[in-house]
Structure 1
Amino acid sequence: MADDLPSPPLVYEGLDPSPESKSTIEEVSDAVRGAANRVGDAIEKGKKPGMPLSILSNIAREAPLGSLLVAFLLGVAVARRR
């Protein structure tokens, strides 16, 4: 009769096996890939109509020389503060 009963499942009482560790290069590349995806998503959100990047691109399209002048003056002002 003892042979007819199913045996209980084996229980692993040790720690979970450690996952294979990634190399430093793989970890850094994953971090860079994630950061690039987040930046890309932020740029795409900013390009939607009414958002700041959309407004800036429209201004630059309508008055490219004026936009260049403003960017230059802003750069000079920031550079002199340092």
Structure 2
Amino acid sequence: MSRSDFFTLPLHDKVQQLYERGSFVTAIRYYRYKVNLYQMDTNLVEVFFNHKEDRIEKIELLPRYHSRMKFYSDQVILPPNLLD
């Protein structure tokens, strides 16, 4: 499945794809969210979970040069092919 195909899926189908094909990397706290980071192929995908609402609010691709990347790289060593 291509990246663009994945991101056009409804939320529940994205969750299923991440469960079946993704690998959990780590989690961070970011404002009101717990954000789980997954690797799917050569993409990093973030799942934003709102504890107050007890639900996943969004699933997004993490751009390689996003400022949030520093929160993850402080916790784990990310594979070089994900940082190009």
Fold equivalence (TM over 0.5): no
Bigger strand share = 2
Larger Rg: 1
Question: TM-score if structure 2 supplies the norm length?
Answer: 0.21
Q: Which structure exhibits the higher relative contact order, with contacts defined as CA atoms closer than 8 Å and separated by 6 or more residues?
A: 2
Question: TM-score if structure 1 supplies the norm length?
Answer: 0.21
Bigger helix share = 1
